[in-house]
Structure 1
């Protein structure tokens, strides 16, 4: 896998691959915990990001790390940094 070089303050997120149907594209679901302002309980929020996978290495279920990058298409603004854990 090619090492992605980045500079500046770019967000780095960790999530799970939910789709790898597109060519050199993966869809990553990122879960975050947000504290409810009134109830003080933690709520799980999910959001999907499209990321660039130049070598088509990822499969569904892989745990990956993505970083913000320049727009590559209409919805793709993230780049795959590394695969943290392969799916079974």
Structure 2
């Protein structure tokens, strides 16, 4: 089964080898048919501490690294 890949923005890089990434999804409201935006934060592993706040990154599912961290940063977007 392929691992999920999400795109988001780094909102925190204060932890060692960890970044917090906010991923936004858009969908149509089931009744109102208005576009609704929802966001969720994911902790992702950043081995080299190379990503900073504001960077657009892709994250991929991985085996659990810690209690909260089950994602890895795979690349930065242009």
Shift of 1:63: 0.3
Matched residue, 1:42: 35
Structure 1 residue ranges, 4+ long, deviating more than 3 angstroms after superposition: none
Aligned equivalents of 2:53, 2:30: Cα separation in 1: 34
Shift of 1:34: 1.5
Aligned equivalents of 1:78, 1:59: Cα separation in 2: 17
TM-score by length of 2: 0.97
Aligned equivalents of 2:28, 2:64: Cα separation in 1: 31
Shift of 1:67: 0.2
Unaligned runs of 5+ in 1: 1-7
Aligned equivalents of 2:16, 2:27: Cα separation in 1: 33
Shift of 1:84: 1.1
Aligned equivalents of 1:9, 1:59: Cα separation in 2: 28
What does the per-residue CA deviation read over 1:43-81, in whole Å, with 9 as the maximum and x for residues that have no partner?
000000000000000000000000000000000000010
Matched residue, 1:69: 62
